[in-house]
Structure 1
Amino acid sequence: MLNAHIKKITTRVTPPASAEIVHKICGCKWSLTVFDLLAQGINRPGEMVRSVDGLTTKVLNDCLRRNVEFGLISKATYSEVPPRVEYNITQYGQRFMAVLYDLEQLGPPPT
């Protein structure tokens, strides 16, 4: 009875930055599609919009900007006429995609 008041399990707190990234990326309808496009080598915004039905330039730009801020993708701007912009998955983004792939392989819970 002396040990009845000792807590055996503590609450685990999710790291705020990681939780925010997962929430914003998985909560965005297009982020995972953008990662898939980049993995296929489609790295120019115009080509991305043409490759996916329903994806608009505005939504794509918001998605790309957010992922650049998180450090998951990088943006390269070239001084050409017409201007050229390309996006690529960063090393950190590749690690993030590996986690997403592992979650996909986990599959749904057994019924």
Structure 2
Amino acid sequence: MNSETIKFSRKSAPEKTARMVESIVGCKWSLTVYNLLKNDIRRPGEMVKSVEGLTTKVLNACLKRNIEFAIVERESFNEIPPRVEYRVTALGDKFIHILTELEKLQTEIDDGNL
């Protein structure tokens, strides 16, 4: 056996990514918002009407957080009355795919398949 010991440096989570995951997954409404967007419900008023318990204030905070991390983007239309729509970005699609895979893994664990 080789007498030389291999030393590994401590690996820490990527700071920005870890903060994003903690912030978004920690928001109980983010996954609901992604589901609404997936079902073409893009306007804030429609979102609030579609989900029992979701308020405009909470939705705006959730959307702001997701925009900050470039998961969701906001589009404003120059119309009267003003109209705003949200959609998932390319990065958001990748992030949501990862969350979906984690959900599948949890289901397998819950079902005793792992």
TM-score by length of 2: 0.87
Question: Are 1:94 and 2:59 counterparts?
Answer: no
Which amino acid letter does the alignment assign opposite residue 81 of structure 1?
I
Whether 1:28 aligns to 2:31 is: no
Q: Distance in 2 between matches of 1:12 and 1:36?
A: 34
- For 1:57, give the aligned amino acid: T
Equivalent residue letter for 2:62: C
* Alignment match, 1:56: 55
> What is the aligned partner in structure 1 of residue 84 from structure 2?
85
- Supply the RMSD in Å over aligned alpha carbons: 1.9
Gaps of 5+ in 1: none
CA distance in 2, matches of 1:35, 1:16: 24
The alpha-carbon deviation at position 54 of structure 1 amounts to 0.4
CA offset digits 1:47-90 (Å, max 9, x no partner): 00000000000010011011011000110001111100000000
1:11 positional shift: 2.8
Corresponding position: 1:75 with 2:74 = yes
Percent of aligned pairs sharing the same letter: 48
Measure, in 1, the Cα distance between the counterparts of 2:9 and 2:97.
29
- Letter in structure 2 aligned against 1:78: F
For 2:39 and 2:58, the matched residues in 1 are separated by 20
Instruction: Tell me which amino acid in the other structure corresponds to 1:97.
Output: I
1:105 to partner: Cα distance: 1.1
Give the TM-score normalised by structure 1: 0.89
Q: How many residues align?
A: 110
Q: Which runs of 5+ in 2 are unaligned?
A: none
Match of 1:45 in 2: 44
Of residues 10-19 and 89-98 in structure 1, the stretch that sits farther from structure 2 once superposed is: 10-19
